[in-house]
Amino acid sequence: MQRMFLWFLFLLVSFIIKNCLLAQGSETLAERLGYAKDAKLLMVHAEDPGVAHSQNIASIAATEKGTMNSGAIYGLLPMVPRDCRIRQRTSLF
């Protein structure tokens, strides 16, 4: 058990060191997206469209307006089939 913990710790430290070394002198995410280096960016993500019809409509409206471009659907929610049909008709897939 201790050996496994040490192996995990080694991997974690290696990952952190690698990312720190790669981050030096590299572009920021804002720069890679075409914004200024010090620009503040906001990511709007719809969590679980498909829970209710009102949530589906709100997430579709936000997507159509360009306010939101990310979302995650949990497939077992009751309104997911309806949400998928609406999105197929409005070409939001």
CA 51 to chain centre: 19
Tell me the per-residue pLDDT of 19-36, one tens digit each, with 9 for 90 and over.
776 666 677 888 888 999
DSSP track, 10-58: HHHHHHHHHHHHHHTTPPPHHHHTTS-TT------EEE-TTS-HHHHHH
Q: Are 49 and 86 in contact (CB under 8 A)?
A: no
- pTM score > 0.75 for this model? no
E strands, the chain, where? 45-47, 70-72
The amino acid present at 32, given as its one-letter code, is: R
pLDDT in tens, the chain (93 residues): 688 888 888 888 888 887 776 666 677 888 888 999 889 988 887 777 778 888 888 888 888 888 887 777 777 888 888 888 877 877 655
